[in-house]
Amino acid sequence: MKLLWLLLGCATAMRAGPAVVFLGPDPAPWRKAIEERGWRLVVPPPAAAPLWSEAGAEALQAYLRNPAASNLQDPEGAFLIAAGDQASAAFYLASRMPDLWRAVLALGGNPKIAIDTNRLYAANTQFVPVLWIVAPESKDAMDVLRHRLAVAGYNLEMRTGEGFTFGQALDWLASKRRDPVPYKIDCETGSPAFPRCYWATIVEFDPSRRNDALPTTRVP
């Protein structure tokens, strides 16, 4: 009987829809649309440090990688929606912990904050498409930053928010799939706090040695 319940529990977990990690001022407007699709809304606790900083991202990572706290178990990764004051963190988090995400939606924000950390690596987003929604009046100014990211190889799409609905946002996320175990991976980190790259984990760092055979993909 215990085995039967275990198998039923596993089957239920397998049928569960993907999780949506929400970072922003109020998830309530999104909750109904997310749950109507059979998806799960995950709202992390507030971080002591900004999420576009290493300390803030490290705290978020600790929460998300703890299934007992976050209930994240989908091998394809979760969706990330970042809005309001947290939107700028989306660009950094997509690069810092790419194995956690299936796709990322930034509702506003400014990637320059992430670029200025000198830890925004374009290669890390090869399997993490990022959709950046900007206000129509700021599109021209933000297009300069979009081009800067694109030249480095950052996996980014930009649209204006005019007429953009919750349903369209979730449709875009739903269209993105990811191989849980990619055949070929390429990541940069620059920090022992973020050693994961999908199925590979760095177990030892030697700062005296550098890999000069491959160019860096850090967004300048």
Residue 14 is predicted with a pLDDT of 46
In whole angstroms, what is the distance from residue 77 CA to residue 103 CA?
8
pLDDT in tens, 118-167: 999 999 999 999 999 999 999 999 999 999 999 999 999 999 988 889 99
Round to whole Å and give the CA distance between 151 and 131. Answer: 16
- The whole-model pTM stands at 0.88
Its CATH architecture, for the domain 15-44+51-201, is 3-Layer(aba) Sandwich (3.40)
Per residue in 14-72, pLDDT (tens digit) is: 456 899 999 999 999 999 999 999 999 999 999 899 999 999 999 999 999 999 999 99
Half-sphere exposure of residue 198, counting CA atoms within 13 Å on the CB side?
Answer: 18
* Strand segments (E) across the chain: 19-23, 40-42, 78-83, 101-107, 130-134, 156-160, 196-197, 200-201
